[in-house]
Amino acid sequence: DACGSARHITDGADGLVFPSDDYAIFEEKVHQLLRNEVLRVSIQKRAKLTIARNHNYEQFSDFIQQLTH
């Protein structure tokens, strides 16, 4: 779904996105990770970069400052 964390994830690049109520697709995504080591490692590396780039203390500080002004 495009709610919560899914708004910040590129499916297949830095995470896997699936509808919150579709357990069959969730199961498919988990099996995809289990079968594909290259994908697992790639997502792990890119997820760390995404978090460092988009969710860091400087951005959080800017967000808090915007709330106080």
- What pLDDT sits at residue 4? 63
Give the total residue count for the chain.
69
Calpha distance 45→51 (Å, rounded): 10
Helix (H, G, I), strand (E, B) or coil at 41: helix
Dihedral angle at the C-alpha atoms of 53, 46, 6, 4, nearest 10 degrees?
-50
Residue labelled with tokens 């890119």: 46
Rg (CA), the chain: 15
Write the pLDDT tens digit of every residue in 6-22. 777 899 999 999 998 99
Write the pLDDT tens digit of every residue in 23-64. 999 999 999 999 999 999 999 999 999 888 887 788 888 888
Higher pLDDT, 4 or 32: 32
Residue labelled with tokens 């199961």: 27
